[in-house]
Structure 1
């Protein structure tokens, strides 16, 4: 899914392991860019399992049993409860150890250390309140199911305070737009030069997830079923539209599993998903175009 063409100014940078592009009517000031950079650094320092000095790494390694609750903790972890309930436990914020076991670890070794192993039952281990996030035993929190979408929302808010007019924030597949409607292609998961369809995003967010984005080894990729610890096999890519990027990102993850379409319907969010055999499904409320 590529950033749509616009007539304004584009700021590109790399953060949290992916490429970002922010489009505004006029170039962002240095203070606006500094504010975005500080926000991204704060979020990464709190939630990244890929850096030794993050808060979640200190929990994973057992250096502490609790951490000060990041300001995003309740918003993200409460949404995980909805995802876990809708997917019968397939989505789980403690899937980090399962990912690391298959090679998607903090060092990005991409070398499996054993067979797939289910994530632990997170309601028995993870708890939080306004002050602290706690683990009853060491485990690796991974907020990949919705964390990038959350950060897109936060960046959009910061940019909106510094810039007037149209704004598009695109974090390599998680996109939020304010102002003029944006026409976006749905990238084919097996051929990035092709699109399977297009959709117009108007004051909303569109998030995508695909098994080819972070893939390695023999059939290994980053979308796991937490109940088994193994990569999903039925679907190759998903897209979801929502009022916030965090919700769209969460749905893009949930749509790899049974229960995802029902959750999207309860939120009144349109979606598209492609099976690994190439067949495409979409919700009745999807207003874009799917190419035959």
Structure 2
């Protein structure tokens, strides 16, 4: 991370590994506050635990109250749902379960690909209140880990800590003056890098179809209009002011060109396609290796 003299606090949360690096050791009270925030997030949004609000929504329709961060998340998802013509949707959960990415991690399809239900037919997202007309499997995985990165940053800043790097298994947020050099992982060879990005004061998030893949070509980036895995892009990176935005846009790049997304959002990006070609924004801060 930023320097050899920085201290790392590692832990597991929402099913993945986390590391928070700071110039000094975090007090036990701060660590406890961070872990509590992760637990609160998981209890609300996880589709992998039976007691979460998302799991209750999957069993019965109704009116559900969610934590304050829902007010950040809903408008972003709604905008990207429109920009991708319904391909990127928080209603993709049942489609993922159909292909085997379920609570039991069976990784065995139980039927043919299932398109996600149309947003306006089943879902109303108004701030922190989500109302459904049918049982739905909400999945915020396209932006949720980035959102949790931002929430942990809020906790650190509330404690007066203004220099840190949060690494949520590749979803990165850096605060403070020091720059961190981040390698861009080769989509077909995790042991190699295709480039490097200097990260300071921003978030960098990536999405890749090889990260959660199983069976005969199945992976977790599904087109909500078909329920099928996306086949054109294989890896994306997005840099933005918040990790939630970078995380969401890294997924959106699988469905629409970055130039289209630039019309609505202030960010930079890189997309690598299945034919080996790549495209990136004019302002992309990284250096690609030849």
Tell me the TM-score normalized by structure 2. 0.96
Q: How far did 1:226 drift?
A: 0.4
Tell me whether 1:89 sits opposite 2:86 in the alignment.
Answer: yes
The 8 Å contact of residues 95 and 226 in structure 1, kept in 2 or not, is answered as yes
Counterpart selection for 1:36 from 17, 34, 37: 34
Aligned to 1:147: 144
Aligned to 1:137: 134
Q: How far did 1:74 drift?
A: 2.1
Q: Secondary structure at the match of 1:74?
A: helix
The 8 Å contact of residues 116 and 229 in structure 1, kept in 2 or not, is answered as yes
- Alpha-carbon distance in structure 2 between the residues aligned to 1:59 and 1:164: 37
Aligned to 1:172: 169
Aligned to 1:291: 289
Residues 250-275 of structure 1: CA deviation (Å, up to 9, x unaligned): 11000001254311343231101111
Tell me the TM-score normalized by structure 1. 0.95
Tell me whether 1:113 sits opposite 2:145 in the alignment.
Answer: no
Aligned to 2:75: 78
Matches within 5 A, 1:130-279: 130=127, 132-162=129-159, 164-179=161-176, 180-279=178-277
Q: Would you identify which runs of 4 or more consecutive aligned residues in structure 1 move more than 4 Å?
A: 3-6
Structure 2 unaligned runs (5+)? none
Q: Secondary structure at the match of 1:231?
A: coil
- Alpha-carbon distance in structure 1 between the residues aligned to 2:44 and 2:147: 13
Q: Is the deviation greater in 281-290 or in 135-144? A: 281-290
RMSD (Å), alpha carbons = 1.4
Give the number of equivalent residue pairs.
289
Q: How far did 1:141 drift?
A: 0.4
The 8 Å contact of residues 187 and 195 in structure 1, kept in 2 or not, is answered as yes
Structure 1 unaligned runs (5+)? none
- Alpha-carbon distance in structure 2 between the residues aligned to 1:212 and 1:134: 34
Q: Secondary structure at the match of 2:264?
A: helix
